[in-house]
Chain A
Amino acid sequence: MSAAPETLEFPAPDMSGLGAHYWGALREGRLEFQRCGACGNAWLPPRSECPKCLSPQWKWEAASGKAKLISWVVYHHAYHPWFAKRVPYNVSVVELAEGPRLISNVAGERPLKMDMPLQLSIEREGEWALARFKPV
């Protein structure tokens, strides 16, 4: 397993296009998702058309922060040098109360359980802000 880039730089998100708004909002303390103006569907990650009705009419909406745990894994191998000192670390699939799902990290002392309630906890990672979650 040797293909990871030889750099200690944080694997930074793409700030071009819709990413600029999404990651910018997180820096300001808001997790935002998109809601379709035509059919009401809500989604993440950011995209230019509603994946349900294909409408380009949508708005950003702030998430309440309430969520539940869909599934999780624990990495014992670092695929990127940035994470070498963090193994073992958690990566989870989280579902917001408003519907959209996203990849996140769920931290905490309590054993994790499918569908357990979670609360958003936006955390700084250098100049970035990440939407992490904690069990309620």
Chain B
Amino acid sequence: MTDDLQSYTIDPEREPDEREDIRDLLAKCGLDYETGVEAFVVFRRKQRLMACAGLEKNIVKCAAIDPELRGEALGLKLLTEVSHLAYERGHSHLFLYTKPDCVEFFRACGFYLLAEVPGLVALMENTPIGMKTYCDGLKRLRRPGAVIGAIVMNANPFTRGHRYLVERAAAACDCLHVFVVAEDVSLIKYRDRYALVAEGIADIPRVMLHHGSEYMVSRATFSAYFLKEKGLVENCCTAIDLLIFRNHIGPALGITHRFVGTEPFCRTTFKYNADMRHWLRDDVSPAPAIEVVEIERTQSEDVAISASEVRRLLAADDFNRIRRLVPAATLELLETKYRVPRSSAA
């Protein structure tokens, strides 16, 4: 480079001085320092921190340029470095959260808008054809009918409650599309979750099972969902995930109704269900409204069946009670693969 601009990568866990500088720059730009960033690209000139951008797996976070130093196309250099860093770390498909007024800026850096909550937040991806390719795939699975339903489930793990929800929903639909959340950060591995759902609903007519994708309830679209197991539930952002569903996935499959179970235990899921009505049905998008149908959970001995309850019982090694909440296949899997070793049992 012709000037004395330096760029390098840092690990914020190991370099507290760099981290503090980054925190200051972000504050100057009205951004929070987000935990979970595994690596930062930083640009310095004569010791001064000019720009930074962080990566949490395939999500670009905390991207900022000193407001006094804008106008010299630093952003293009910054996003180039981040793209190469992400690629070296094994991520080619990147997502980026930003403020809506920065969408144009990141558009020039090769990012494309997926969804925007006016005045609050926008999600972008680094390919012009990512969402389109995904939706083209879905369109081939479109089925005719007046009532086309959808359920997105994590099934962590699959319970009798999931089975009941699918049965009830399928009875009300010409075709019901069931998606299993594909992000592999839940207690039960995705392969196991998907296999149990497939087995558990195989005999229900008019149901089509799908693998989830990065575009629905993923770390990219809805990162807070996956924090719930760590007890970090806050006022999470559900709008982006729901808008992507309404604007892209719903129209691709012609979905008219989305079904959910009532949520008595998990606050994140409870909020997600409540937000769903607003973002899928109200006049907040040019895409057709999707009706939200909440189905009362089935009960076992007066306690609503919920996967979070099963996980709680699993942690307590209470298989007698788990047995009443899950089908045989789930019980067998939990006993053989996910049983918590009891150090105190001896």
Do A and B assemble together?
A: no
